[in-house]
Chains A and B, each alone.
Chain A
Amino acid sequence: MVDEASQSHTAPPTRRHGRLYRINNDDWFSSTLRISILLLFAVFFGLPLLWLLLVPTKNDAQLSELAPLAFGSFARVGEAWQNLLGFGENSVARWAWNSIVYTVGSLILGLAVTLPAGYGLAVAHFAGRRLLIWLTLITMIIPGSALVLPLFLELSYLRLANTPWAVILPAAFFPFGVYLAYIYYATSLPKDLIAAARVDGCNEWGVFYYIGLPLSRTLLGLLTFLSFTANWNNYFLPYVMLNTSTLFNLPVGLQVLMTGTAALRPTFATDLPIYRAEVALAGLMLVVPIALVFLFSQRFVISGALTGATKE
Chain B
Amino acid sequence: MTSDSIDIINAFALLTNFVLLPALSYGSQLALGALAVTLVYSVLRFSNFAQGDSMAFGTMIVILLTGFMISRGWTISGIPTALLVIPIAIVFTAMYLLTMDRLIYRHYRKIKAKSITIVMSSIGVMFVTGGIVRFVLGATAQKFEDGERFIFSVREFKAYTGLEQGIAFKTSQFLTITIAFLLVAFVFYFLQKTKTGKAMRAYSDNKELALLSGIDPDKMVQITWLLVAALTTIAGALYGLDKGFAPQQYHLLLLPIFASVIVGGIGSPIGAIAGAFLVAFSEILLTYAYKKFLIYLLPLSMHPSSLVQLIGTEYKYAISFVILVIVLLIKPTGLFKGKVIVDE
Asked if chains A and B come from one complex, the reply is: no
